[in-house]
Amino acid sequence: MGNPKQKWTAEEEEALRAGVAKYGKGNWKLIQRDPELSPFLFARSNIDLKDKWRNLSGGPGGHGSREKSRASKPKPSSDGSQGAVVVKQTALPKPLVDDSSKSFAPNRYNEMIIEAISALKEPNGSDNRAIVGYIEVQNRYKIRKDETFGMKTASPKQKGTKLKQSQNPGHKTCDAVEEASMTAAYLIAEAENKSFVAAEAVKEAERVSKMAEDADSLLQLAKEIFETCSQGEIVLVA
């Protein structure tokens, strides 16, 4: 159970918004079990998440509704005239918008890695650098230099706006490629571990099979000795 007296941090609020954007409102257990969100929300209970989300979203009885009503109240002018009234608007917290760099699901990463390994067809297996390079080229994460010269000439203001907008997607795609590389390294390490375990299992199976063959041979020898002794003959065992 969480401590209701503990003040919420900015990281916890961002994690709560991200969880609601990902799983929807009301799925508090799924939000708490999420591996990316649990480090921030492990000290909070379902009731804590529910109450805090009501406050953030401006629900009934939450701080958001009181702040909205307080902000919408017009401030009277000092001279008592009927001129324009300045109203101070307090921006309510908005739900976290899904970032394009985080929109890739783990299944999407697996598909990209499997596709890269299948296309490369390395006899000794593909390393991380080759897999990442294939993913970058295949998904056009690397931008050709000659493509930048095909842009239309615009005014300085519009040009600055385009440059500012073009910087974010590049940063996001780099983050996506880096995360895919980490996932590929993890999957390769896991595959190598499973291969080692499988090899050890094969060795153990061969050892057990050899023991079974030896036991069967001893059983057959014991039967032959028993039959010989039953006929009154003497059997000498070296």
Does residue 159 belong to any structural domain of this protein? Answer: yes
The pLDDT of residue 141: 62
Q: Are 130 and 188 in a shared domain?
A: yes
Q: Are 104 and 197 in a shared domain?
A: yes
User: How many domains does the chain fold into?
Assistant: 2
The residue segments making up the domain with residue 107 are 100-210
Instruction: Mention every residue, 6+ apart, whose C-beta is less than 8 A from residue 96.
Output: 14, 17, 18, 20, 21
Q: Are 122 and 170 in a shared domain?
A: yes
Does residue 88 belong to any structural domain of this protein? Answer: no
pLDDT tens per residue across span 2-19: 455 588 999 999 998 998
Does residue 236 belong to any structural domain of this protein? Answer: no
Q: Are 105 and 167 in a shared domain?
A: yes
Q: Are 19 and 111 in a shared domain?
A: no
Does residue 232 belong to any structural domain of this protein? Answer: no
Does residue 35 belong to any structural domain of this protein? Answer: yes
pLDDT tens per residue across span 68-80: 444 444 454 444 4
pTM: 0.26
What's the CATH number where 46 sits?
Answer: 1.10.10.60
Q: Are 38 and 136 in a shared domain?
A: no
Q: Report the amino acid identity of residue 205.
A: A
Q: Among residues 69, 86, 110, which one ends one of the domains?
A: 69
pLDDT along the chain (238 residues), means of 10: 70 90 88 88 88 80 46 46 46 52 60 84 79 80 46 45 51 75 84 82 86 89 87 76
Does residue 75 belong to any structural domain of this protein? Answer: no
Q: Among residues 22, 46, 69, which one ends one of the domains?
A: 69
Does residue 108 belong to any structural domain of this protein? Answer: yes
